[in-house]
Amino acid sequence: MNQLQHETSPYLLQHANNPVEWYPWKPIAFERARRENKPILVSIGYSACHWCHVMEHESFEDAETAAFMNAHFINIKVDREERPDVDQIYMEACQIMNGNGGWPLNCFLLPDGRPFFAGTYFPPHPAHNRPAWLQVLNNLYHAYRDRYADVVQQAEQLMENIASGNQVFRKTELLEQTDAVVFSPVLPQNICFGLQQRFDTTYGGFGGAPKFPGTMNLSFLLDYQHYTGEEAARDHVHFSLRKMIGGGIYDQLGGGFSRYTVDQAWLVPHFEKMLYDNALLLSVLAKAYRQEPQPLYAQTIAETLAFVAREMTSSEGGFYAALDADSEGEEGRFYVWSQAEIDQQLGPRSPLFCQVYGVSPAGNWEGHNILWRARELEEVAAEQGMDAATAQTQLADARGQLLKVRDQRIRPGLDDKHLLSWNALLISAYCHAYHALGEESYRQAAHRAVQFVQAKMTTPTGELWHTYKAGKAQYQGFLDDYADWIAALLDMYTVTFELTFIDQAVAFTEFVLANFLDESDNLFYFTSATQKDVPLRRKEMYDNAVPSGNATMALNLQQLAVLVGRSEWAELARAMLKPMTTSIERYPTAFGRWARAALYEAYPTREVVIIGEQAVRMALELQKKHYPNTVFMAHSQGDVAGYPLLAGRPAQAETLIYVCQNFECQLPVSNIADARAYL
């Protein structure tokens, strides 16, 4: 019988009524496979995955297909967001076998968990140069039964290749280079040059279709420009952000970004909305605004956080994972319009709206209209004999009216689980948005989410759970959970200047060092040493949809080394970065978070310490502008033991700002303008 009905994952629950006898990823499934000597099918997806839904409907709901699967395989369903560790191993197997991968991911295993075959979507009948699903099942069943030795050999080869992937970053000519070469401005310069070769100068971003935002690379370019004045880097970031905000990837009515577009011009999104994408884009928008305070960025930040508060925030203060691409069985149906609908709803305001948002009777996607900023409002207003202020009011009213109409439609499915790493990314985004716009509700939302994680996703012994839903937290935290959580705690310190956040960041860092570090190469495993239910421990180095946990830990160690005087952590960050440098230079779009860590080593770090009654207020004021490689500390009394930057600096009659760089301090100043001059 199907074993998924007691799970909390929305993706697993979507399959709880399938005739397939699905198991969750638990020992009982492997025990049965060993007992009955059957191969295992692990089918991996996530709730917002369009083709996962298609394959479920075509194959997993089909009685004949399910009967064959139940008779000859032990079938396991995995939510890749709940178990990214499982997904990583079998996605690598798929990529080794096929040269690519995606979801749904269907991997066939020996009873001990070693993979021997992997693929993605298979149709119910041969099509698109793909065999039918039943053909795949039949061939693999007979291979396992009749050619078992060959199957085992294939599994052994796959496991060797997967395991060797963990070694690739040790084998680099960079180990022959000196620190003076590795940790110099030459490396960021080469990274920037490599990214420039991939600039899409027509539509922004990097490369062609499908088009992903590339937020980690945009963030690096903003930091790099600060030090070098590289106008091409700065201009491309702002050009890219404007193009995305004006495109179909951005929800022009409700705020928030879709995951990617299938075209190069940001017009046609894959309509799922992921928490992590919005968190990462919010952070880079806030950084861009702190560099160039453009009203468009402020509006987009406000609209996107309003979307998060309205649709992605739980009553407990945490954040949900995703909104599906589909509603009523159709991708994008919730978001698209016909011109007739818009004309009916807006009446005389429709011509203005349709011109600005590119609406036509024929539509721009499958006979429907995806809204995008096709023309500037001022230009359309002038053509229609309307002043800009009136046009702005009419357009805002029209957007509000259509949003109300859209809210009456059947909504896309909500994946209402909480994932710790994604929650941490959004906590950081709220902090960054607070620095940019000064909106107190953003700081309060971040603080409430921190309290939620502490109450619901932290064990009594101070460890982290990966996922939480319906009162149940489960699965040991992974490296990304700890790395992003430490980063969020450090960001919370910058909006509150409560030392407890640094103390917690230190404690979690010590836990990561004890439970995730591979001392043979100074890099971190994705899974804890205490986790035993996967066939091997992997290391994730690349930025994927979310930043590399190793790169984030390098940044955390760099900051904490300054904040609490742990020089050995600075040395560890350098040791992590050194073997990565050749890969970062060769494939810069895949290593944006690492590139920021390289920037930290290549250019001077600065410490800004403010002591006195006005310390917190002045620190918040200074942080309205973005200063990379800069650590801020503020305290009303000063001279606090355990914090080298505060020690020996007692409060004076007036609040003083100390700015130091490369272990050299300027004379303290007492006003913001003088401090900015040093920065």
Q: Quick check: 393 pLDDT over 80?
A: yes
Q: Per-residue pLDDT tens for 66-89?
A: 999 999 999 999 999 999 999 999
Task: Name the band, by pLDDT with cuts 50, 70 and 90, for residue 176.
Answer: very low
- pLDDT-based confidence at 468, cuts 50/70/90? very high
Yes or no: say if 102 and 49 are a contact pair by the CB < 8 Å rule: no
Can you give the pLDDT at residue 433?
99
Q: What does residue 322 show for φ and ψ, rounded to 5 degrees?
A: -165, 160
Q: What is the pLDDT of residues 236-264, one digit of tens each?
A: 999 999 999 999 999 999 999 999 999 99
Is residue 174 within 8 A of residue 581, CB to CB? The reply is yes
Can you name the CATH fold of 10-165?
Answer: Glutaredoxin (3.40.30)
Reported as a pLDDT band with limits 50, 70 and 90, residue 173 is very low
Instruction: Name the pairing type of β-strands 656-661 and 630-635.
Output: unpaired
Confidence at residue 178, expressed as pLDDT on a 0 to 100 scale: 54
Question: 59 is written with which tokens?
Answer: 């194959």
Residues of the chain above pLDDT 70, percent: 97
pLDDT of residue 174: 38
Which has the minimum average pLDDT: 51-55, 294-298, 318-322?
A: 51-55
Query: How far is residue 676's CA from residue 631's CA, in Å, rounded to a whole number?
Result: 14
Whole-number Å distance between alpha carbons of 101 and 87: 11
Strands 656-661 and 664-665: antiparallel
pLDDT at position 496 is 98
**E runs forming strands in 516-574:** 517-518, 523-524
Burial of 130 (0-12, 13-18, 19+ CB in 10 A): middle
- Per-residue model confidence as pLDDT tens digits over 193-241: 999 999 999 999 999 999 999 999 999 999 999 999 999 999 999 999 9
pLDDT exceeds cutoff 70 at 175 = no
Domain ranges of the chain: 10-165, 335-408, 606-678
- Quick check: 151 pLDDT over 90? yes
- 619-677 pLDDT per residue, tens: 999 999 999 999 999 999 988 989 999 998 998 989 999 999 877 889 999 999 999 99
The model's pLDDT over 304-319, given as tens digits with 9 standing for 90+, comes to 999 999 999 999 999 9
Identify the pLDDT of residue 48: 83
pLDDT at 328: 87
Average pLDDT, rounded, for the chain: 94
The region of weakest confidence among 46-50, 131-135, 168-172 is 168-172
- Distance of alpha carbon 670 from alpha carbon 50, whole angstroms: 57
Phi–psi pair at 568, nearest 5 degrees: -65, -25
pLDDT above 50: residue 171: no
Query: Which strand (E) or helix (H) includes residue 166?
Result: none
pLDDT bin (cut points 50, 70, 90) of residue 170 is: very low
Residues 6+ apart with CB under 8 A from 656: 610, 611, 612, 668, 669, 670
pLDDT of residue 165: 67
| Owner of token pair 């996107």 | 304
- Predicted confidence at residue 15, as pLDDT, reads 97
pLDDT at 177 over 80: no
What are the tens digits of pLDDT across the range 481-524? 999 999 999 999 999 999 999 999 999 999 999 999 999 999 99
Whether residue 21 has pLDDT greater than 60: yes
Q: Is the dihedral of CA 286, 287, 292, 296 positive or negative?
A: negative
Confidence label for 553 from pLDDT (cuts 50, 70 and 90): very high
DSSP codes joined into one string, 649-673: -B--SS-EEEEEETTEEPPPBSSHH
By the 8 A CB rule, do 675 and 659 touch? yes
Could you tell me the sign of the dihedral formed by the alpha carbons of 318, 105, 22, 273, in that order?
positive
Please report the pLDDT score of residue 164 as a whole number: 78
Alpha-carbon distances, residue 639 vs 140, 610, 612, 633 (angstroms): 69, 11, 11, 12
pTM of the model: 0.93
Position 166 scores a pLDDT of 57
Tell me the C-alpha distance between 532 and 474, whole Å. 15
Query: What number is the average pLDDT over the span 266-288?
Result: 97
- Please give the share of the chain, as a percent, with pLDDT higher than 90: 88
- Does the pLDDT of residue 24 top 50, yes or no? yes
Strand order across the 472-476 sheet: 418-419, 465-469, 472-476
Task: Specify the pLDDT at position 326.
Answer: 87
- 3-class DSSP assignment, residue 254: coil
Rounded CA gap, 45 and 52, in Å?
6
What are the CA-CA distances from residue 120 to residues 95, 101, 117, 134, 450 (Å)?
10, 7, 11, 14, 37
Read off the pLDDT of residues 602-624 as tens digits, 9 standing for 90 and up: 998 999 999 999 999 999 999 99
Coil, helix or strand for 173?
Answer: helix
Mean of pLDDT values over 49-63: 93
Give strand ranges (E) for 480-590. 517-518, 523-524
What per-residue confidence (pLDDT) applies to 664?
85
Instruction: Indicate left, alpha or beta for 363 from its phi (over 0: left) and psi (-120 to 50: alpha).
Output: left
In eight-state DSSP terms, residue 22 is: E
Residue type for 21, please? E
More confident site: 253 or 679: 253
Strongest mean pLDDT among 379-388, 555-564, 647-656: 555-564
Region 453-479: mean pLDDT is 96
